[in-house]
């Protein structure tokens, strides 16, 4: 069987699969399956062997990836039945874990108290008034629904509509019709009554397959006569996206509105633009709504309900106030909301018939995403046809399509992706249609106990893993035995991880008797979990000395020269929001190395409060556990430090930690961010 | 003059003292002169309850605590470590943490070198306990097994469990009932309150973006109820070779 891997429909491998080196993909096959479909999902392992296939009913399934790796699909005409089903697939086996059938789109009962009868005298059928006749009921089981998303706590959201209608011939004249012997009177157009109602609802599916529904809106109509009936209804459901606070946002094309559903109720905000429907081919479409910080939603739509998409709009989801609108060109496709309220997007310009990359500032003013610094002109890349908007990686680098179909990494101005529940196209950089999860790196380079064997690295890993198991944090541990090296440390510092914690030894400089306290110039790593005393010299990453500096504390060049396993660096790359240091004597020389000061915005360095005291590394573990746990909840990092310090006191542990930089940093989408932070 | 953190530790301006006692609890006096709970004595009893194998003659328990010399007031003595060794003689109060205990040369009694750490709260409740020792905790076997697994990232879970069993582990993932039956919960209740095991799960490996990390631990959630009805939750880690608790951490109330 030949496989044709669809170039435009990559499915991100789940967390579980990526950890084991495999990949999950969407593919087509040259012979149809049992459902007369040419498409399936598959998985290959790290050796390239296909380990499972899931045969699809058609080739347009919407998808989302649960934090535990479960793949959720929305399958219309599921296995050629007339139903729409949400399917949960086990990422390890491709087997169905459970299904949830979406409610039928409509139920109608028409013609109650009437009968269609054949009159042989005239050889015609007619509708006659026959009180007591139940009428004809029909159901359209195939659901009308929008697209799905998954919140960081694993709830799956999908909007849908239902409608009901009925007509009743009464009041009508059921007496014998003298003009048609043997028949009652015909039902006249003015006879009878009708009712119709529609509702907009949200289904929330939980990890175990249970679900609930919440009505967001409803409308109804009724009247007399048999000629007209119907309610306004709800047309064009978009993708519901999580709001990070346990609720969700969903757009409707007609009547154009944004709904904000939460446990306390639903808010409806009418829109001056018509947002698009997500139901045409939800698998491949780009998102029409992203969520920024401070609960601002960024939507695209058309200013003319009959016209093309041409408008980008920012709206406060708490009160519905529209912050700004802009019409940069046709088909604006949002890519990423940044922490300062800017939105990067792709749009089509009719002036040169090309796709451009733009970015709005927080006021809606548009400029090129990549601008010539000399005159601000757009330097591209321009493309003729690009379905995917650029995606942000890190450190100002974007991945963007080129005109020849290639992919480029393009460097622009540094930016930080907004900390929200849905800041990027398809949810997050993982494109799993779900909220991003904080990724935390734990570097534990020596046994924290004193003596070391009283509390080992393995016990620290086990304790941290368990303590954070109730959060949505993704943990990566780096120990001596598992790659806690200088290179790995530097790589993590430059990556997309939310935060990093270092618990281990300092590289110390001792000024000599009477000349001050020892102070740290760097961090040490061991090729294996160290013995006491170390059997091998540590590999220390230290600040580059400056023996000509007016600051005598920087005069440690001869010391570095005498330690061949030490490596120097002028500056440490700081891309992460949160950096925690649990080592000893971290004073000004060490802290300034990070280039984070109290005027720094968006980053926070957490160091022991007392720079001249030894650090209890078991206390550092406790402090770090608490900071991550509280930051993964609703606290910003500064609040988390305060609480963690208080917990240390109650535990009788020595030490306290302080923030340098921006204590208002958030790593969780549920964090209540201070307005003072970007 | 310049050193890594560990090498500099010996020159830290700090007071470190070591108490060597044999078999009797002591009272500890805090900074305000009031008698604190006898944390040291409680720790020794706790170890005895956890590891009844230690209830034999010829063992020494030593206590270690350190703080910055300029701490004012002195820290409360609620966080400390202990070392249990088999020594030939028990004698003096030493002034350095670097003791050189001489293991007994015995053909029948196992060597003992148990390190443990304790943290207590102000009311005398255990906040964190950890311990490691070749005997009776099999820490060396478990550590060697973890290194072996980390060196073979392609091993399946089944292969790991076969290796674990071959190395002598008695309590694998299929031995939950047996494990729970050997846990010294009744002996711990005087320290923690009435105990109920809420969950027990065997952890083989932690999976992360670029590989796996061996854990090889039974992880238990245990609920403790005091006589006054106060409830606490503990995370307890148990090693699979002998079913010994080697980590206990009180979790914040949820």
Does any CB of chain B come closer than 8 Å to the CB of residue A453?
Answer: yes
Residues B36/B76, Cβ–Cβ less than 8 Å = yes
Q: How far apart are the first and last CA of chain A?
A: 53
CB-based contact A16 B207, cutoff 8 Å: yes
Q: Which residue of B has its CA nearest to A561?
A: B2
Global ipTM: 0.80
- Phi, psi at residue B191, to the nearest 5°? -95, -35
Question: What pTM, to 2 d.p., does this model score?
Answer: 0.69
**Burial of A654 (C-beta count, 10 Å sphere; 0-12/13-18/19+):** buried
Residue of B1, B3, B4 to mutate, interface with A, max A Cβ within 10 Å: B4
**Least-confidence region, from A422-426, A439-443, A535-539:** A535-539
CB-based contact A512 B219, cutoff 8 Å: no
Q: What is the pLDDT of residue B24?
A: 29
Residues A653/A618, Cβ–Cβ less than 8 Å = yes
Which helix (DSSP H) or strand (DSSP E) does residue A348 occupy? strand A343-349
Q: Residue B31 is encoded by which pair of tokens?
A: 């900074």
Q: Which residues of B touch A624 (CB under 8 A)?
A: none
Residues A332/A300, Cβ–Cβ less than 8 Å = yes
The chain-wide mean pLDDT, for chain B, equals 77
**Least-confidence region, from A52-66, A517-531, B123-137:** A517-531
Does any CB of chain B come closer than 8 Å to the CB of residue A76?
Answer: no
pLDDT at A247 over 70: yes
pLDDT in tens, A198-234: 999 999 999 889 999 999 999 988 888 876 667 678 9
pLDDT in tens, A584-634: 888 889 999 998 988 888 889 999 998 888 888 999 999 999 999 999 888
Task: Give the confidence band of A360 by pLDDT, cuts at 50, 70, 90.
Answer: very high
Of the candidates B3, B217, B219, the beta carbon closest to that of A508 is on B3
The chain-wide mean pLDDT, for chain A, equals 85
Q: What is the pLDDT of residue A129?
A: 93
Task: Give the confidence band of A37 by pLDDT, cuts at 50, 70, 90.
Answer: confident
What residue ranges of chain B have pLDDT lower than 50? 1-36, 89-107, 254
Q: A73-80: long-range contacts (C-beta < 8 A, 24 or more apart)?
A: A73/A41, A74/A102, A74/A145, A74/A147, A74/A148, A74/A158, A74/A282, A76/A142, A76/A143, A77/A142, A79/A35, A80/A35, A80/A36
pLDDT in tens, A526-574: 876 555 556 677 889 999 999 999 988 898 998 999 888 899 999 888 7
Q: Residue A95 is encoded by which pair of tokens?
A: 């087997």
**Least-confidence region, from A65-69, A251-255, A322-326:** A65-69
Which helix (DSSP H) or strand (DSSP E) does residue A411 occupy? strand A407-411
Q: What is the pLDDT of residue A232?
A: 76
Q: What is the pLDDT of residue B69?
A: 67
Task: Give the confidence band of A3 by pLDDT, cuts at 50, 70, 90.
Answer: very low
Q: What is the pLDDT of residue B91?
A: 36
Rounded to an integer, the average pLDDT of A144-156 is 88
Name all domains of chain A by residue range, CATH numbers in brackets: 1-97 (no CATH), 102-233 (no CATH), 279-436 (2.40.128), 439-661 (3.40.50)
Q: Among residues 118-157 of chain B, which lie with CB inside 8 Å of chain A? A: 119-122, 127-128, 130-133, 139, 142-143, 146-147, 150
Three-class DSSP category at A642: helix
Q: What is the pLDDT of residue A300?
A: 93
Q: What is the pLDDT of residue A529?
A: 58
- Express as a percent the part of chain A with pLDDT over 90: 36
pLDDT at A259 over 90: yes
Q: What is the pLDDT of residue A349?
A: 85
Bigger pLDDT: A424 or A482?
A424
Q: What is the pLDDT of residue A13?
A: 36
Q: What is the pLDDT of residue A46?
A: 78
Q: What is the pLDDT of residue A339?
A: 81
Q: How far is it between the farthest Cα atoms of chain A?
A: 125
Q: Among residues 491-520 of chain A, which lie with CB inside 8 Å of chain B? A: 504-510, 512, 518, 520
Does any CB of chain B come closer than 8 Å to the CB of residue A324?
Answer: no
Does any CB of chain B come closer than 8 Å to the CB of residue A534?
Answer: yes
pLDDT at A280 over 70: no
d(CA A447, nearest CA chain B) in Å = 11
pLDDT at A183 over 50: yes
Residue of A67, A444, A454, A492 to mutate, interface with B, max B Cβ within 10 Å: A454
Q: Which residues of B touch A456 (CB under 8 A)?
A: 130, 132, 139, 143
pLDDT at A341 over 50: yes
Does any CB of chain B come closer than 8 Å to the CB of residue A530?
Answer: yes
d(CA A30, nearest CA chain B) in Å = 34
For chain B, the domains span 5-132, 139-251
- How far apart are alpha carbons A517 and A179 in whole angstroms? 116
Q: Name, in order, each residue with C-beta under 8 angstroms of A134's C-beta and a sequence gap of 6 or more.
A: A109, A112
């Amino acid at each position: 069987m030949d496989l044709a891997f669809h170039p435009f429909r990559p499915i991100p491998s789940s967390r579980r699969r990526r950890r084991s080196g495999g990949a999950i993909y969407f593919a087509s096959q040259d012979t149809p399956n049992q459902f007369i479909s040419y498409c399936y999902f598959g998985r290959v392992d790290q050796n390239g062997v296909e380990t499972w296939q899931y045969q699809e009913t058609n080739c347009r399934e919407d998808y989302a990836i649960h934090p535990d790796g479960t793949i959720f699909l929305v399958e219309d005409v599921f296995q050629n039945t007339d139903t729409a089903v949400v399917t949960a697939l086990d990422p390890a086996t491709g087997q169905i874990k459970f299904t949830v059938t979406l409610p039928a789109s409509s139920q109608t009962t028409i013609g109650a108290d009437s009968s269609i009868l054949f009159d042989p005298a005239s050889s015609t059928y007619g509708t006659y008034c026959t009180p007591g006749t139940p009428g004809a009921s029909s159901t359209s089981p195939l659901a009308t629904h929008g697209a799905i998303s998954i919140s960081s706590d694993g709830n799956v959201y999908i909007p849908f509509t239902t409608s009901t209608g009925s007509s009743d011939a009464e009041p009508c004249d059921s007496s014998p019709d003298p003009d048609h012997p043997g028949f009652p009177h015909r039902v006249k157009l003015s006879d009878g009554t009708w009712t119709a109602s529609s509702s907009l609802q949200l289904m929330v599916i939980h990890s175990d397959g249970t679900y609930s529904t919440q009505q967001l809106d409803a409308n109804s109509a009724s009247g007399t006569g048999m000629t007209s009936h119907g309610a306004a209804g709800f047309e064009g459901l978009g993708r519901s996206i999580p709001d990070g606070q346990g609720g969700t946002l969903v757009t409707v094309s007609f009547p154009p509105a944004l709904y904000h559903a939460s446990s306390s109720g639903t808010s409806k905000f009418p829109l001056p633009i018509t947002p698009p429907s997500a139901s045409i081919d939800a698998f491949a479409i780009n998102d029409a709504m992203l969520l920024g910080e401070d609960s601002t939603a960024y939507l695209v739509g058309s200013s003319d309900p009959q016209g093309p998409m041409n408008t980008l709009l920012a709206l406060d989801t708490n009160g519905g106030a529209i912050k700004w609108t802009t019409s940069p060109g046709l088909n604006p496709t949002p890519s990423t909301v940044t922490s300062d309220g800017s939105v990067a997007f792709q749009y089509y310009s009719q002036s040169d018939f090309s796709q451009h990359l733009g970015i709005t500032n927080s006021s809606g003013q548009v400029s090129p995403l990549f601008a010539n610094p000399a005159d601000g002109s757009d330097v591209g890349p321009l493309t003729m046809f690009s379905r995917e908007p650029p995606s942000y990686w890190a450190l100002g680098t974007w991945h963007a399509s080129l005109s020849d179909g290639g992919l480029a990494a393009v460097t622009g101005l540094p930016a930080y992706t907004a900390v929200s529940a849905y800041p990027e196209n398809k949810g997050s950089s993982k494109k799993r249609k779900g909220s991003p999860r904080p990724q935390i790196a734990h570097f534990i380079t020596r046994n924290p106990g004193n003596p070391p064997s009283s509390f080992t690295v393995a016990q620290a890993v086990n304790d941290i893993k368990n303590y954070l198991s109730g959060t949505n944090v993704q943990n990566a541990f780096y120990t001596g035995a598992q790659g806690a090296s200088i290179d790995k440390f530097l790589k993590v510092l430059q990556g997309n991880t939310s935060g990093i914690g270092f618990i281990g030894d300092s590289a110390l400089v001792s000024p000599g008797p009477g000349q001050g306290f020892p102070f740290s110039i760097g961090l040490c790593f061991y090729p294996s979990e160290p013995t006491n005393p170390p059997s091998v010299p540590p590999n220390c990453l230290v600040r580059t000395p400056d023996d000509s500096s007016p600051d005598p504390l920087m005069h440690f060049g001869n010391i570095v020269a005498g330690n061949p396993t030490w490596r120097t660096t002028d500056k440490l790359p700081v891309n992460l929001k949160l950096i925690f240091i649990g080592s000893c004597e971290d004073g000004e020389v060490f802290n300034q190395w990070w280039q984070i000061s109290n005027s720094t915005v968006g980053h926070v360095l957490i160091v022991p409060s007392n720079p001249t005291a030894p650090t209890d590394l078991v206390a550092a573990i406790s402090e770090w556990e608490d900071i991550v746990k509280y930051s993964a909840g609703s606290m910003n990092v500064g609040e988390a430090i305060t609480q963690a310090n208080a917990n240390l006191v109650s535990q009788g542990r020595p030490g306290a930690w302080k923030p340098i930089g921006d204590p208002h940093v958030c790593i969780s989408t549920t964090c209540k961010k201070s307005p003072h932070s970007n | 003059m310049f050193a890594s953190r560990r090498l500099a530790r010996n020159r830290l301006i700090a007071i470190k003292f070591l108490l060597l006692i044999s078999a009797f609890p002591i009272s500890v006096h805090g900074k305000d002169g009031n008698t604190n709970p006898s944390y040291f004595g409680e720790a020794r009893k706790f170890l005895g309850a956890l590891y009844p194998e230690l209830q034999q003659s010829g063992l020494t328990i030593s206590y270690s605590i350190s703080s910055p010399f300029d701490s004012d007031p002195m820290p409360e003595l609620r966080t400390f470590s202990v070392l249990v060794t088999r020594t030939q003689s028990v004698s003096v109060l030493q002034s350095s943490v670097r003791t050189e205990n001489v293991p007994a040369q015995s053909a029948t009694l196992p060597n003992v070198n148990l390190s443990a750490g304790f943290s207590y709260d102000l009311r005398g409740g255990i906040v964190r306990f950890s311990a490691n020792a070749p005997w009776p905790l099999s820490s060396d076997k478990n550590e060697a097994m973890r290194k072996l697994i980390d060196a073979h990232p392609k091993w399946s879970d089944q292969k790991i469990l076969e290796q674990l069993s071959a190395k002598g582990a008695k309590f694998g993932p299929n031995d939950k009932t047996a494990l729970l039956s050997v846990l010294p919960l009744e002996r711990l209740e005087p320290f923690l309150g009435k105990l109920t095991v809420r969950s027990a799960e065997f952890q083989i490996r932690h999976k992360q973006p670029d590989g796996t990390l061996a854990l090889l631990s039974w992880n238990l959630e245990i609920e403790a109820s005091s006589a006054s009805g106060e409830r606490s939750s503990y995370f307890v880690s148990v090693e699979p070779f002998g079913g010994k608790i080697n980590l206990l951490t009180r979790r914040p109330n949820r």
